Amino acid sequence: MITSTEDLTKISKKIRKHVIKMIYASQSSHIGAALSIVDILVVLYFHTMNVNSKNYTDVLRDKFVLSKAHASSALYATLVEKEIIPLDYLEKYCVDDGVLPGHLDSTFVPGIEFSAGSLGHGLSVAVGMAIANLQLPHSGKIFSIIGDGECNEGSIWEAIMLASHLKLSNLTAIVDYNKFQSFGMTNDVINQEPIADRWKSFGWDVFEVDGHNFSELIDSFNEPQSKPKVIIAHTVKGKGVSFMENKFEWHYKSPNKEQYNLAIREMDDQN
């Protein structure tokens, strides 16, 4: 377990550089969505969750479901830093004859708990995992990151209702509230405010945090729970690269060579 903010920051920087390199090399999309969740993944994998290169197939491990699977590059890069998948896999992201698909495939990528792509499904799967784990003594917890735009899906709210009804105290959802989705500002497409009150009304414990503040994230994950918990993480789309931050076009846009070099220089210049 890593508790030092300085150490967590260093890991986040490495993961962001991996993401930028992967998406530039493959000329693929969703760099903004990946960069916004890096700090959440770092806290989960390097502080909160009981999962590592030796126990990632253990039945009693903690499990993570990335429901917004278009941000797969961030999870792959995290699994590299956890030494669950090899570094050279990142060169085979979203390319012909590659090994890392743009959306998640659990059938041949170690450490991926659920094949995801269509939005709205991951939280339901996480609920199922949480139900199953309650049948096992000393079993792990379940965590799932969902997108704020993904919360437009009715299946998300069905899962929220069931988790509350069953009082799944081993389940934590994290909303990546970066305020953007594929076709515009999230709350312009469908207004979700007051989002915290909506989750509370469904019977969840609710915490709102800065999704890039390690101390706030750690404190919220450490809060004891007797029912399902949601962490509404206020994040910045494209976090860490100045010209990508809060820019709608980086949902789909790929960096050119000049933008790639600039982004990497920014990463290297950051403390």
Q: Provide the token pair at 129.
A: 């995992």
| Span 42-58, pLDDT tens digits | 999 999 999 999 999 99
What is the percent of the chain where pLDDT is above 70? 100
How far is the C-alpha of 258 from the C-alpha of 109, rounded, in Å?
Answer: 32
**Can you tell me whether residue 37 is helix, strand or coil?**
coil
> Tell me: the pLDDT tens digits for 117-145?
889 999 999 999 999 999 988 889 999 99
pLDDT for position 28 = 95
Question: Which residue type is seen at 41?
Answer: L
Kindly tell me if the per-residue pLDDT of 271 is higher than 80.
Answer: no
User: What are the tens digits of pLDDT across the range 7-35?
Assistant: 999 999 999 999 999 999 999 999 999 99
pLDDT at position 183 is 79
* Each residue's pLDDT tens digit, 142-190: 999 999 999 999 999 999 999 999 999 999 999 999 999 877 888 888 9
Grouping H, G, I as helix, E, B as strand and the rest as coil, residue 171 is: strand
Residue pair 74/103 in contact by the 8 Å Cβ criterion: no
- Is 213:235 a contact under the CB 8 Å cutoff? no
Looking at residue 48, its amino acid is T
**DSSP single-letter state for residue 212:** T
Render the burial of 235-261: b for 16+ CB within 10 Å, e for the rest.
bbbbbbbeebbeebebbebbbeeebbe
Return the sign of the alpha-carbon dihedral for residues 74, 79, 83, 89.
negative
Q: What is the pLDDT of residues 219-256, one digit of tens each?
A: 999 999 999 999 999 999 999 999 999 998 999 999 99
Dihedral of CA 54/58/61/65: which sign? positive
Q: Which structural domains are found in the chain, ordered by start? A: 5-269 (3.40.50.970)
Question: How many C-beta atoms surround the C-beta of residue 223 within 10 A?
Answer: 11
